[in-house]
Amino acid sequence: MEPMEARYDVVWPRSPRGVQQRQSADRLDTLAGKRVAFLWDYLFRGDELFPVLADQLTERFEGVEIVDYAEFGNLHGADEKQRVGRLPDELRSRHVDAVVSGMGC
């Protein structure tokens, strides 16, 4: 008779999520007449796509205003955390209603 092979009761190698899920912001009824800010990490052809998006939104929604990504600077790189940390105040001070952020590739 073969000897009994050892058995193991093992624990989970992960750990709990300390981050609590938060409520996202309320969505808008329409983009008409709203201020939409573009935020860019200066990567992956955002300089070509954001102007296209600006044209599309302007065509589709009357009175929409675009706040260009240049107003916020490059949101990637050495001072990324500081720049992103300032964003809530910068967005509020510009009376921004909605944000489009890119580019993640």
Partner 1 sequence: MRASIAAESAGIPSVSIVCNGFAGQAGATARGLGHDGLPLAVTIGHVDTQSAEEMTANFIDSTVDQIIEGLVGDGPLADADNAEPAALDIVASGTIDEINDHFSSKGWSDGNPIIPPTHDRVERYLDGSGHDPWKTLGVAPSSGRDFTIWSIAVNAVMAGCRPEHLPVLIALTEILADPAYGSEHSGNTTGADGLILLDGPNASALGFNSGPGVQREGVHANTSVGRWLRLYLRNVAGFTAEEHDKATFGNPARPVLAEDHECLRTIGWPSIGEQLGFASSHDVVTLARMNSGLLIGSVFGSTPEQIVPYLANGLARVSAWDLTHVHGIGTDQYQPLLVVSPLLARTFANAGWSLNDVQQALFNQARITARAFERFIGDWTNLSAGHPQLTDLVAEGALPPVFAQSDDPDRMVPITTRPERLLIAVTGDPNRANAYTFSNDGPHGWWTAKRIDHTPASDLVCNVSGRQ
State the residues that interact with partner 1 by CB under 8 A.
Answer: 5-22, 24-31, 36-37, 39, 41-49, 52-53, 56-57, 60, 74-81, 84-85, 87-89, 91-92, 96-105
Nearest to 99 by CA among 29, 44, 31, 7: 31
- How far is the C-alpha of 71 from the C-alpha of 31, rounded, in Å? 20
CB of 62 to partner 1, least distance (A): 14
**The two structure tokens encoding residue 104:** 């993640």
Mapping DSSP to helix (H, G, I), strand (E, B) and coil, where does residue 7 land? coil
CB of 68 to partner 1, least distance (A): 13
End-to-end CA distance of the chain: 59
CB of 71 to partner 1, least distance (A): 13
Spatial contact of 76 and 68, defined as CB atoms under 8 Å apart: no
**Residue placing its CB nearer to partner 1 in the complex, 65 or 97:** 97
CB of 30 to partner 1, least distance (A): 6
